[in-house]
């Protein structure tokens, strides 16, 4: 039902340009839903008039720009090819919020403009501290949460909720599927695995044993994390003040609004880490994570990026590939939530 894109972006769009593009569209109306903490607009678009209802959001984590780029591509495709979308929008009503965290996006522009420079990302990527995380702030931790929660309530009850995320580094692709749907989502799981393999990616097989609510469904798929599990995690580390700041995730909030929504989180890396792995343990990825503080310290001390990073088995995942796989996840999620075969 979701049309195939005829063009996949290769460069990130600046926030100003995205706003310019969306406000110039004639096939839909871009609405200001509210403002961020720092006064930036949070905008959204409602598409379609079908009986099935979905919310699709992106940008919750400040250093994950692929999701917003994917949703911009979606909206611009609707603008360019409305006829290609007529079947989907006759069956579905979509609420699309391409950037729920414009303040965080603004703070990451220095490395996004230099993409795919690894040194730029390591030195300049900015992410909210635990307890300031928009994804775990529903319905009222931050102004952005209140804005998005209001839009979700208006759209409810939902059949599908997607939060497009990403990872700085991993050794493959991953999806998070809420625990109520994991066993019902074979079309999504099998299709996304095949799509990832077609782009040369294996599945990121990291069995975290329930840490923060991540319970493995099968390699490359875990349950979506939950606010209570996050609180338990930080309490177990002796950080009760941080634990107390966590609310619910957008996935939990979607389910609280009624119905039986399929909730999916996409996780595509910005950079692929090559090397060894075994079942449930991405060894090279975990070792690279241990090295990152030293790598940043050496770069900050003025060592040449080639000397610090040149020997690493780390490569940027092309933006076009990441968007293609985000798109495939959306296509398969729509099929799964609507009960249609692949």
28-56 confidence digits (pLDDT tens): 999 999 999 999 999 999 999 999 999 99
Query: How many other C-beta atoms are found inside a 10 Å radius of the C-beta of residue 74?
Result: 25
Alpha helices in 53-108 (DSSP H): 66-80, 86-91, 102-107
Question: What distance in Å separates the CA atoms of residue 195 and residue 216, rounded to the nearest whole number?
Answer: 20
Report if pTM > 0.95.
yes
pLDDT attached to residue 341: 65
Average confidence (pLDDT) over 93-97: 99
* Per-residue pLDDT tens digits for 175-232: 999 999 999 999 999 999 999 999 999 999 999 999 999 999 999 999 999 999 999 9
pLDDT tens profile 106-153: 999 999 999 999 999 999 999 999 989 999 999 999 999 999 999 999
Give the residue-averaged pLDDT of 243-261. 97
Domains of the chain in start order, with CATH, are 15-338 (3.40.630.10)
Query: Does the pLDDT of residue 340 top 80, yes or no?
Result: no
Tell me the average pLDDT across 255-269.
98
Cis ω for the linkage preceding 116 (within 30 of 0): yes
**What is the average pLDDT value for the chain, to the nearest integer?**
97
| Predicted confidence (pLDDT) at residue 337 exceeds the cutoff of 60 | yes
| Per-residue confidence (pLDDT) for residue 71, from 0 to 100 | 99
CB neighbours of 198 closer than 8 A, spacing ≥ 6?
Answer: none
pLDDT at 342 over 90: no
Kindly indicate the confidence band of residue 1, based on its pLDDT and cuts at 50, 70 and 90.
confident
Contacts by 26-34 with C-beta closer than 8 Å and gap 24+? 26/79, 27/78, 27/79, 27/82, 28/75, 28/78, 28/79, 33/97, 33/147, 33/148, 33/150, 33/151, 34/143, 34/144, 34/146, 34/147, 34/150
Best CA proximity match to 271, nearest among 66, 48, 59, 133: 66
Q: Is 78 helix (H, G, I), strand (E, B) or coil?
A: helix
Residue 204: its pLDDT value, please?
Answer: 97
CB atoms under 10 Å from CB of 203, counted, come to 20
* Residue 61 pLDDT: 98
Whether 260 has a pLDDT exceeding 80, the answer reads yes
pLDDT tens digits for 157-169? 999 999 999 999 9
Task: Check residue 321 and give its pLDDT.
Answer: 99
Question: How confident is the model at residue 104, as a pLDDT?
Answer: 98
- pLDDT exceeds 90 at position 328: yes
Q: Are 185 and 262 in contact (CB under 8 A)?
A: yes
Burial of 163 (0-12, 13-18, 19+ CB in 10 A): buried
């Amino acid at each position: 039902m979701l049309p195939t894109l005829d063009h996949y972006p290769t460069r990130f769009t600046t926030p100003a340009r995205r706003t310019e593009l969306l406000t110039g569209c004639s096939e839909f109306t871009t609405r200001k839903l509210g403002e961020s903490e720092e006064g930036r607009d949070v905008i959204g678009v409602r598409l379609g008039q079908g009986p099935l209802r979905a919310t699709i959001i992106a940008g919750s984590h400040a250093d994950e720009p692929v999701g917003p780029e994917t949703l911009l591509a979606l909206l611009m495709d609707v603008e360019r090819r409305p006829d290609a979308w007529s079947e989907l929008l006759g069956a579905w009503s979509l609420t699309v919020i391409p950037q729920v965290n414009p303040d965080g996006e603004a703070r990451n522009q220095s490395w996004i403009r230099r993409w795919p420079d690894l040194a730029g990302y390591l030195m300049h990527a900015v992410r909210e501290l635990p307890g300031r995380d928009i994804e775990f702030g529903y319905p009222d931790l931050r102004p952005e949460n209140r804005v998005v929660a209001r839009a979700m309530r208006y759209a409810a009850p939902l059949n599908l909720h997607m939060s497009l995320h990403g990872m700085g580094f991993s050794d493959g692709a991953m999806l998070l599927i809420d625990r109520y749907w994991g066993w019902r989502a074979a079309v999504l799981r099998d299709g996304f695995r095949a799509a990832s393999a077609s782009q040369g990616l294996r599945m990121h097989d990291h069995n975290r044993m329930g840490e923060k609510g991540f319970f493995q469904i099968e390699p490359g798929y875990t349950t979506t994390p939950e606010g209570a599990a996050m609180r338990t995690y930080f309490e177990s580390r002796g950080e009760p003040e941080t634990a107390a700041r966590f609310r619910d995730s957008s996935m939990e909030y979607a389910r609280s609004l009624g119905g039986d929504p399929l909730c999916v989180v996409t996780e595509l890396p910005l950079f692929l880490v090559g090397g060894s792995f075994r079942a449930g343990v991405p060894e090279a990825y975990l070792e690279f994570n241990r090295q990152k503080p030293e790598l940043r310290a050496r770069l900050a001390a003025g060592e040449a990026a080639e000397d610090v990073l040149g020997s690493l088995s780390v490569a940027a995942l092309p933006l076009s590939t990441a968007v293609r796989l985000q798109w495939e996840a959306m296509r398969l999620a729509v099929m799964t939530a609507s009960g249609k075969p692949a």
